[in-house]
Amino acid sequence: MSGTTMAVGAERRAGEAVPTRWAALGFIGLAQLMVALDATVVNVALPSAQHALRFTDADRQWVTTAYTLVFAGLVLLGGKIADLVGRRRTFLVGLIGFAGASALAGAANGIGMLAGARALQGVFAALLAPTTLSLLAVMFTDARERAKAFAVFGAIAGSGGAVGLVLGGTLAEYLDWRWCLYVNVPVAVIAAGGYAFLPDLPGRGRQRLDILGALLASGGLVALVYGCTEAVGRGWGSPVVLGLLGGAVVLTGAFVWRQARISAPLLPLRILRDRDRAGSYLAMGLGLAGLLGLLLFLTYYLQVVLGYSPIRAGLAFLPLSAAVQLGAIGIGSRLAPRVRPRTLMVPGLLAAAAGMLLLTQLNPESGYAAIVLPAEIVLGIGLGCVFVPAIGTATSGVEPRDAGIASAVVNTAQQAGGSIGTALLNTIAISATAGYLASHRVDRAEALVHGYSVAAGWAAVILTVAAVLAAVLVTRGNS
C-alpha cells in the first residue's frame, strides 16, 4: 500500500472515531465567526476611524477590501498549507497570527498602517478558514451529523457579516472604533482552546508550494475589483478600466493554464471537473456577492438616509442574522439528508432574489419596518437554505488528501464573490445616484435611495443567475 493511500485511510479512520468532534465544532465555529465578521465589523465604525486617522473618502474602501482581497487571493495557498503541514497545527498558527494582526490594526496611526494590518489579517484568515472547514469535512462522516455540522458552519458564514455590523456599531458607540479590531484578540485566545479537541491528523510532508500561482490568482482578483472601483469615476469604457478588466482575464487565464501543467498545482483542476461541486462553488460565490453588497448599501441607507446611530444600524441587521440561522439550522440541516441539494439551493436562491426585489421599492420615507425588515427575513432564510447543501456538496466526494484545498475553494468563492459583489454593486449604486441627480431635480437622499434600489435590482439578477446555474449543474442525490 502506498504512503498516500495509508494517509488517506488514516484520515478516514480518524474522522470516524473523533469522540470530541462536537466540542471541536464549538471552537471551530468561534474561529470561523471571527473570520466572517471581520469582513464587516469595521464598516459601521468607518466614519469614526476616518475622523481619527484623517484619511480620504477614496481611501476608506481599502479598510474593507484590503482584508477581503488578500483573504480571497491567498485562501487556496492556505488550504494547500493545511494539507501539507497538518490542520491542527495550521489552526493554531492561523489563530495566533490573526490575533496579532488584529492588535496591530487596532493600534494603527494612519491609513497605511491600518490597511496593511487589515491585509495581514487577510493572510492569516486565508490560512485559518480552509483549515476549519476541512476539519469538519474529515471529522463528520455520518450524513446526518455532517448536515448539522455544516448547518452551524453555514449559518456562521452567512450571518457573520450581519453580526459584524452589530458588534462594530456597539463597540464604536460605547467604547472606541479600535475595539472593533482589538476584540479579535480575546476571541482568538478562547478559540485556541479547540486545539485540545482537534484530531492530530498527519500532513502530507514536503511539497513545493505554488507561490507564482497564488500571485496570479491574487493579481487577477485585485485587478477585477480595482477595475470595478475605478469605473465609478472613469466609466466602464475608460482605457484604465478596460485595461484592468482585461488584465484580470489574462491573469486568471494564466493561473488556470499553470494549474493544468505543473506537478503540484495550487488548485488541482480535478476538483472543479465535478459539475455538482462547481455548481455549489458558484452558488456560494454569487450568494455572498448579493449578501455583502446588500450589507454595504443598506448600512448607508440606515445611517445616511434614515439617520440611525451606529449601534441602531447594527441592531437593524439582527433579523437578517436570525433568518440566516433559521434557514440553515432550522430548515437546511433537517432537509439536507433527505432531499437533493438543488431542491434546497434553487428555491433558496430564488427567495433571496425576491428579497432583493423587495428592496427595489425603497424610498426615503419607506422606513425600516415596511420594506427592509421583510426583505432581510426573506433573503436570510433563502440564503440559509443554500449554504448547507452547497457546503456539503462542495466538500463531499473528494479524497481526504484534497479536503483542505476543496474547502479552500469554498472560502475563495465566498470571499471573491463578496469582494466582487461589493465593488460591482457599489459602483452601480454610485453611478445610478449620479445619473439620477443629473437628470432630476431632487435632494441627495432621494438620489441615494434610487442608487440603492438599482443596485438591489442587479443583486436580484445575480441571485437568479445563481439559481439557474444550480438547477443546471447540481444534479447529485442527497448524501
In this structure, is residue 457 part of a structural domain? yes
For residues 181 and 100, what is the distance between their CA atoms, to the nearest angstrom?
10
Q: Are 171 and 45 in contact (CB under 8 A)?
A: yes
Q: Can you give the residue range of the structural domain that contains 241?
A: 210-265
Q: Given this model, what pLDDT does residue 205 score?
A: 54
In this structure, is residue 25 part of a structural domain? yes
Q: Given this model, what pLDDT does residue 479 score?
A: 52
Q: What is the pTM of this model?
A: 0.75
In this structure, is residue 3 part of a structural domain? no
Is residue 32 located within the same domain as residue 153? yes
pLDDT (tens, 9 = 90+) of the chain, 479 residues, equals 333 333 334 444 444 546 677 878 888 888 878 877 776 777 777 777 877 888 765 576 678 778 877 887 788 788 778 777 777 888 889 999 999 999 999 999 888 899 899 989 989 988 887 787 778 777 777 777 777 777 777 677 666 666 777 788 788 788 888 988 898 899 888 888 877 777 766 555 566 778 888 888 888 888 887 787 777 677 778 888 899 989 999 998 999 899 888 877 877 788 777 888 888 888 888 888 887 777 777 877 887 788 888 788 878 888 887 888 888 777 877 887 788 888 888 999 999 999 999 999 988 888 788 899 999 999 989 988 888 788 778 777 766 666 667 777 877 787 788 778 877 888 888 888 888 888 887 788 888 888 888 989 999 999 999 999 988 888 876 65
For residues 86 and 253, what is the distance between their CA atoms, to the nearest angstrom?
30
Rg (CA), the chain: 21
Is residue 150 located within the same domain as residue 117? yes
3-state secondary structure of 323: helix
Is residue 163 located within the same domain as residue 174? yes
Closest listed residue to residue 148, CA positions, set 393, 330, 324, 333 = 333
**C-alpha cell recorded at residue 22:** 462536537
Closest listed residue to residue 474, CA positions, set 312, 349, 309 = 349
Q: Given this model, what pLDDT does residue 14 score?
A: 43
Is residue 427 located within the same domain as residue 383? yes
Closest listed residue to residue 137, CA positions, set 414, 322, 447, 402 = 402
In this structure, is residue 299 part of a structural domain? yes
For residues 154 and 157, what is the distance between their CA atoms, to the nearest angstrom?
5
DSSP 205: -
Domains of the chain: total: 2
For residues 431 and 423, what is the distance between their CA atoms, to the nearest angstrom?
12
In this structure, is residue 479 part of a structural domain? no
Is residue 150 located within the same domain as residue 180? yes
Closest listed residue to residue 287, CA positions, set 114, 479, 418 = 418
Upper half-sphere CA count for residue 336 (Cβ side, 13 Å):
32
For residues 432 and 449, what is the distance between their CA atoms, to the nearest angstrom?
10
Is residue 109 located within the same domain as residue 240? no
Is residue 395 located within the same domain as residue 445? yes
Is residue 277 located within the same domain as residue 258? no
Is residue 104 located within the same domain as residue 158? yes
Q: How many beta carbons lie within 10 A of that of residue 408, not counting itself?
A: 31
CA distances from 56 to 51, 60, 122, 169, 301 (A): 9, 6, 22, 21, 21
Is residue 55 located within the same domain as residue 114? yes
Q: Where are the alpha helices (DSSP H) in 140-210?
A: 143-174, 179-182, 184-191
Closest listed residue to residue 107, CA positions, set 123, 118, 96, 95 = 118
Task: Tell me the angle at which helices 21-37 and 143-174 cross, rounded to the nearest 10 degrees.
Answer: 40
Residue at a domain's end among 249, 265, 281: 265
Is residue 23 located within the same domain as residue 91? yes
CATH code for position 172: 1.20.1250.20
In this structure, is residue 121 part of a structural domain? yes
Q: Given this model, what pLDDT does residue 3 score?
A: 36
CA distances from 444 to 269, 359, 428, 440 (A): 49, 19, 16, 11
In this structure, is residue 224 part of a structural domain? yes
Is residue 198 located within the same domain as residue 218? no
In this structure, is residue 130 part of a structural domain? yes
For residues 336 and 198, what is the distance between their CA atoms, to the nearest angstrom?
25
For residues 269 and 386, what is the distance between their CA atoms, to the nearest angstrom?
24
